[in-house]
Structure 1
Amino acid sequence: MLSNSNDRPDVADRILAAAASCVRDFGIDRVTLAEIARRARVSRPTVYRRWPDTQAILAALLTRRITEVAAEVPRTGTDRAAIVARIVEVGQRLGRDDLLMAVMHSAPEFAMIYITERLGTSQQWLIDVLAADLKTAQSGGSVRAGDPRQLATMVLLITQSTIQSAQIVEPILTADALAVELAHVLNGYLSNG
């Protein structure tokens, strides 16, 4: 049954939730706009009014999921140690997230666009948030001098690479050991000493 109240704010949420369920059930390659609309209980034109195609829906879904995971991890301080601990926790949660891992495993070529070809919305957002945190930590003296946005971008690259490669090094570095090593790397990179 199609919804008659397609302009309610929860319609976009329902569409993204439907897209997430499709990704989990089928993988990215078999997700269709028609199936997303069916699961969201809206018409295809309703979906098209918000996103031009399935790829745009999936990009919005991933952006939402990454920002949600990052927002779930509270700030415990403004110094380097607190920032690094938060980054490591966010990285661990992203690495365990079933939706993100479904994307990585079912459509690595889709994920590679946001790893090797362009910065996605969520990556830009993470850089912006982290740059602001690093600027605060710089003023407190716990993070070295440098352009906070450049530092944040490098931290994103280090952390993103760690998350992506965690599975292949698991026989050598368990999840806990990997978190310890990532924290060590980030603390060393950001240290002012």
Structure 2
Amino acid sequence: MVSIGNDDEAGEPVADRILDAAASCVLAFGVDRVTLAEIARRAGVSRPTVYRRFPDTPTILAALLTARIVGVLDTIESRGTGRVTLVDRIVTAAGRLRQDEVIMAVLHTAPELAMVYIAERLGTSQQILIDALAGQLKLAQDVSVDDRVRAGDPRQLATMCLLITQSAIQSAQMVESILDSEALATELAHALNGYLAP
């Protein structure tokens, strides 16, 4: 997991241990039954130690989701600057996020929390993804004609790519009998390539 703390107890940053414990609680109890006391117990730290890093359980859960989403992005190598390579990276990230038990647990067991980031406001991880993707799209607008991204504001293009991909991740379970994982990835790639092509 991505380290978000620089204090170290027992060989692992305390903030990382807290997030790992929160992930364990989400999987064991569901989002609604996660408590700060149980997170502290599983992390092997006191409640005041948790409070020094996070003011409350929702903040811990938001940090957990951000760390997991950004962590997936960090594990996927960029193998070029063209549109096809960029779309492949997005599709790969979507597949890995759909396989993440914690992210899927939040989507499926805490819809009210998920809806905040689907319909009300951009979360930290979404902002990070948009910024990273906008930079890559800008580069892909300047490559050879065959593999170029169309003209347009890179941040707007990135935001639309986020919406398309986020929708595919959220709804994958609902359409699984029609689009299995492989078919979903193929169709998502077609959708993104079609949207981004000149």
How many angstroms apart in 2 are the aligned matches of 1:15 and 1:64?
12
Code of the residue aligned with 2:160 in structure 1: it is: M
Structure 2 residue 64 is the aligned partner of structure 1 residue 61: yes
Alignment of 1:142-161 (within 5 A): 142-161=148-167
Structure 2 residue 112 is the aligned partner of structure 1 residue 109: yes
Code of the residue aligned with 1:22 in structure 2: it is: C
Give the length in aligned residue pairs.
Answer: 187
Corresponding position of 2:195: 189
**TM-score normalised by the chain length of structure 1:** 0.94
1:57 Cα shift?
A: 0.2
Alignment of 1:128-147 (within 5 A): 128-140=131-143, 141=145, 142-147=148-153
1:7 Cα shift?
A: 4.2
Code of the residue aligned with 1:119 in structure 2: it is: L
Corresponding position of 1:49: 52
1:174 Cα shift?
A: 1.2
Q: List gaps (5 residues or longer) in structure 1.
A: 1-5
Two-structure CA RMSD over aligned residues (Å): 1.2
* Consecutive aligned runs of 4 or more in structure 1 exceeding 3 Å deviation: none
Question: Matched residues, percent identical?
Answer: 68
**TM-score normalised by the chain length of structure 2:** 0.92
Q: List gaps (5 residues or longer) in structure 2.
A: 1-5
1:149 Cα shift?
A: 0.3
Corresponding position of 1:73: 76
Higher helix proportion (structure 1 or 2):
1
Corresponding position of 1:32: 35
